[in-house]
Amino acid sequence: MQNSREFIVFGAPAIEQAEIDEVVDSLTQRWLGTGPKTARFEADFADYKGVPPDTVLATNSCTSALHLSLLASGVGAGDEVITSAMTFCATANAIIHSGATPVIADVDPITMNIDPAAVADAINERTAAILPVHFGGALCDMARIMPLAQSRRLKVIEDCAHAIETRSSLGKAGTFGDFGCFSFYATKNMTTGEGGMVIAANPEHTHYMKSMALHGMTRDAWHRYQDDGYKHYQVTQAGFKYNMMDIQAAIGLHQLARIEQNWHRRSEIWNYYRQALCDLPLRLPASAPAGERHACHLFTLINEHPVLGRDQILEALKQRHIGCGVHYPCLAEHPYYQQTYGWRPEQVPHATHIGRNTFSIPLSAALTDDEVEYIARSLIELFSD
């Protein structure tokens, strides 16, 4: 059967004229690198998160934000950093590139977030930090993780790639630990194409990360080339090239201005899916408990059909022109980590089960009602065939 529908691309962002005009303005002004728009974007993000402006730094990805946070934490060779077995490989790789050894802890099978009891079991004298991931937009159990870290003087770096809007009565995601790292990758709740942001509890860490994000230099290009003349810089450490540029910030400024509006749209879709799909042999993602706000980043389903496999479902949805994601294969399934750290899927059974059976359906604010209904109807028809 021919499908005349356009393919629904997973995670296609909601882009409006304001972003397009702002990017054109940057191109017309001919200041493309890190500059005034990046500074404005950092200030707006600090305001959104309710943190002081000098604690926030825009980066070129969440991966670089994680790496900088680990470096600023003083984590390095001989240290272990505990993270979730259910995350994107960027989380583990950032730990590896800091020189430390990643250690995975299993997740809660319902929230898919790192289990504080598994974290406690993994702590030993080499542990230097905990890196919880607010999976899909659900807040980790910070009320248990923070005291655990504080009692052992461990740093906490929150991976908030999915959790820009996540909060509870205790605080906002990214402000519980020493560092909070955000992603503005193309499919995320707000995008700059590629991009990230890091919040540090201590502004001295932000100052250090700002220099490390630009080769370890004392002055960025905006501050060297402005109209009051060239200024010299010094290299005080061997840094990286992790800065955000103004073209990215141009997009981010307007994405951030609409973050709540887009969150409301995704919550609406989330609630629609929950009702429409509740009778299917699929485990629905857990909603936030009372008093907490879920960022509604991913609508992750777990296949519980006795015959139809997850990959068959992915294929059937592709035939219906619906793009899906898999978030994520458990980290212990990847050959690199198995060969380097000896990780085995059996050591993290919940994350392994999720990774082998999960698939995510589109949840972008850009989806039309017709597309959302079509996605739900397609799943219902698939299971009634």
Ligand X SMILES: Cc1ncc(COP(=O)(O)O)c(C=O)c1O
**Binder among 159, 178, 220, 333 for ligand X (CB under 6 A):** 159
Asked if 106 is part of the footprint of ligand X (rule: CB under 6 A), the reply reads: no
Q: Is 196 a residue that touches ligand X (CB under 6 A)?
A: yes
According to the binding rule CB under 6 A, does residue 63 interact with ligand X?
yes
Using CB under 6 A as the binding rule, whether residue 80 contacts ligand X is answered as: no
Q: From CA 48, how far away is CA 190, in angstroms rounded?
A: 13
| Six token digits for residue 312 | 């068959």
Least distance from C-beta 348 to ligand X, angstroms? 16
β-strand partners of 219 = none
Helix (H, G, I), strand (E, B) or coil at 69: helix
Which of 161, 198, 209, 213 touches ligand X (CB under 6 A)? Answer: 161
183 binds ligand X (CB under 6 A): yes
Token pair of 281, please? Answer: 């042999």
For ligand X, give the closer residue by CB, 163 or 365.
163
By CB under 6 A, is residue 185 in contact with ligand X?
yes
204 φ/ψ angles, rounded to the nearest 5 degrees? -65, -35
The residue type at 328: Y
Q: CB of 183: closest distance to ligand X in angstroms?
A: 3
Rank residues 320 and 333 by Cβ distance to ligand X and give the closer one: 333
Is the preceding omega at residue 242 within 30 degrees of 0, hence cis?
no
Is residue 91 at the binding interface for ligand X, with CB under 6 A as the rule? yes
61 makes contact with ligand X (CB under 6 A)? yes
Nearer to ligand X, 163 or 313 (CB): 163
If one counts every other C-beta atom within 10 angstroms of the C-beta of residue 7, the result is 12
Catalytic residue among 37, 49, 172, 188, which?
A: 188
- Residue 312: count of CB within 10 angstroms of its CB: 13
Q: Is 188 a known active-site residue?
A: yes
How many other C-beta atoms can be found within 10 angstroms of the C-beta atom of residue 45?
A: 26
Alpha carbon 221 to chain centroid distance? Answer: 28
Report the alpha-carbon distance of residue 271 to residue 88 in Å, rounded: 26
Chain residues that interact with ligand X, rule: CB under 6 A: 61-63, 87-88, 90-91, 133, 159, 161-162, 183, 185, 196
Catalytic positions, written as ranges: 188
